Amino acid sequence: MSEKRTDLLGGDSYKKFLQKGEKEEVYHQIKFLEDVPMVLHVEIGRTDMTIRDILNLKIGGVIPFTKIVGEPMDVLIADRLMARGEVVVVNERYGIRISEVTRPDEKIGARRE
């Protein structure tokens, strides 16, 4: 059992595991994960506020964010940046049209040059 767990984590033993003809088992384990529910967030912006400013918020007040109009929104899954996209309206509901899938090392709010 521990050998199989090590193989799934990668390295040379993983290559040997695949050579044994057990690719279907790995495929099954990946397919099993496809049904795990995840929460997706789209971040429209961030800002820093003092507690005084937060306590003084009133109906009709405006909170400015750092994002510029037309700048892609960050798409987060489990608090990790996964993609960026533009806000769209679909059947009177907001949506995101994915314009870029990010790299694992990219940070939230960082812009790609």
**Check whether domain 40-101 has CATH 2.60.40.1120, yes or no:** no
pLDDT at 19 over 50: yes
Q: What is the CA radius of gyration of the chain?
A: 21
CATH 2.30.330.10 segments of the chain: 40-101
Residue 66 backbone phi and psi in degrees, to 5:
-80, -20
C-alpha–C-alpha distance, residues 18 and 30, integer Å:
14
Tell me: the pLDDT tens digits for 83-99?
999 999 999 999 999 99
The average confidence (pLDDT) of the chain is 78
| pLDDT classification of 110: cutoffs 50, 70, 90 | low
Q: How far is CA 4 from CA 14, 18, 57, in A?
A: 9, 11, 56
The share of the chain scoring above pLDDT 70, in percent, equals 67
Coil, helix or strand for 13? helix
- What's the pLDDT tens digit per position in 28-55? 667 777 788 888 989 888 899 999 999 9
Average pLDDT over residues 53-62: 94
Q: Burial of 102 by CB count in 10 Å (0-12 exposed, 13-18 middle, 19+ buried)?
A: middle
